[in-house]
Amino acid sequence: MAEVLVLVDHANGTVRKTTSELLTIARRLGEPSAVFVGDGFDAAKETLAKYGAEKVYRVESADVTDYLVAPQAELLAQLVEKTSAAAVLIPSNSAGKEIAARLAIKTDSGLITDAVDVQAGEGGGVSTTQSVFAGSYSVKSVVTKGTPIITVKPNSATPEEAAGAAADEVFEPTISEAAKGAKVTESKPKEATGRPELTEAAIVVSGGRGTGGDFSPVETFADSLGAAVGASRAAVDAGWYPHTSQVGQTGKQVSPQLYVACGISGAIQHRAGMQTSKTIIAINKDEEAPIFELVDFGVVGDLFTVLPQATEAVNAAKG
Ligand code: FAD
């Protein structure tokens, strides 16, 4: 079976959920081989094996790790050639999309970004689905040239366990001087909030313009549930919450078990980032707000009254 390369998304060996999703997808197409760049492989190995990686190419060369993303495209191009890979799957984040674009040029291959589904196509190809125009159209595509290079959005597959050998091999790429044009001079983790990562959280509580800039009841309620905090673009544009927390078409796509929208009207661009959540609750003063069209439970009320009561009830239930 042909190898399918999966670029691992991790922080010092803590593998992000997107990687288990990509390994799950890779098994539909061939034999998953993870590509692990940087330190922390020992911590990552168990997770990579658990989701079916048969091989892991470890890249520890400072020629890659000391620079921004260009060397990663070169090393992946060399691995594509070495393995005759059936496809390359890359997380759809900003770094991933840059790597994928550079890789497609280097390998003279077709590129599909932001796929929400990837399946084995008829006749051995790879068939992908993209969701466009804020989710109102679904586009199916196939790569017709070279090795399919595909970036996949988070939450596009449910990670499924399948024991893999995760046999590791150190891979020493040859990196050109041109790819070393931008060096990392400092890298420090952002201040820990103690909350889960937005795209990985089982529960997300989001605030919108209705908060008037005061996110404290949203955060307190989120913390009572162990949830991540999201925000609408209106709240982000107003400078009330960071862009990294924006949910929607031009923000992050989330698909938690529970999504609670507080003071958010439910514009189509917001829905594009959260409408696949399993259960949706909205709190809004306006009973005509469009968000109520897609909720499982709706509360018509002022979030500054409803959220403290809900927080109290959750804390009481926890004892
Ligand atoms: P509003 O639409 O102003 O809604 C605020 C809601 O709060 C109202 O329904 C109101 O009834 C309610 N409210 C007010 N006070 C209270 C209170 N005290 N208690 C309870 N409810 C209250 N938006 C995104 O969110 N994400 C995106 O990624 C995104 N991308 C976009 C891309 C493009 C190209 C464009 C054109 C727009 C995009 N938008 C995006 C913006 C989107 O169209 C909306 O403008 C935005 O989602 C509105 O945010 P909101 O719901 O917080 O604000």
pLDDT at residue 46 greater than cutoff 80: yes
Where does the pLDDT of residue 271 fall: very low under 50, low under 70, confident under 90, or very high at 90 and above?
very high
Distances from the Cα of 50 to the Cα of 3, 46, 53, 156, 162, angstroms: 17, 6, 8, 19, 6
Sign of CA dihedral 234, 235, 237, 243: negative
Q: How confident is the model at residue 136 (pLDDT cuts 50, 70, 90)?
A: confident
Residue 269: CB within 6 Å of ligand 1? yes
- The fraction of the chain above a pLDDT of 90, given in percent, is 85
CA distance 213 to 144: 49
Task: Answer whether 211 contacts ligand 1 (Cβ < 6 A).
Answer: no
Residue 107 has pLDDT above 80, yes or no: yes
Amino acid at 169: E
- What mean pLDDT is predicted for residues 264-270? 96
Residue 265 CA: nearest ligand 1 atom is: 9
Are residues 53 and 33 in contact, defined by beta-carbon separation less than 8 angstroms?
Answer: yes
% of residues, the chain, pLDDT over 70: 100
Say yes or no: CB of residue 237 within 6 Å of ligand 1: no
Q: For the whole model, what pTM was predicted?
A: 0.83
d(CA 55, CA 269): 39
247 in a known ligand binding site: yes
Ligand 1 centroid to Cα of residue 306, in Å, is 19
Q: Which of 302, 299, 293 is nearest to 270 (CA)?
A: 293
Residue 134 has pLDDT above 80, yes or no: no
CB 25 within 8 A of CB 115: no
Minimum mean pLDDT range among 21-30, 151-160, 239-248: 151-160
2-29 average pLDDT score: 96
* pLDDT recorded at residue 131: 85
Confidence band of 128 (pLDDT split at 50, 70, 90): very high
**204, 270, 292, 294: residue to mutate for ligand 1 pocket, most atoms within 8 A of CB:** 270
pLDDT, greater one: 297 or 136 = 297
- Strand order of the sheet with strand 203-207? 228-231, 203-207, 258-262, 279-284, 297-300
The arithmetic mean of pLDDT across residues 80-108, rounded, is: 97
Looking at every residue in the chain, the average pLDDT score rounds to 95
The minimum-distance atom of ligand 1 relative to the CA of 207 is 52
* pLDDT tier, 121 (very low <50, low <70, confident <90, very high otherwise): confident
Which domains, and CATH codes, for the chain? 3-179 (3.40.50.620), 203-318 (3.40.50.1220)
Q: Is 67 in the pocket of ligand 1 (CB under 6 A)?
A: no
Ligand 1 lined by 193 (C-beta under 6 Å): no
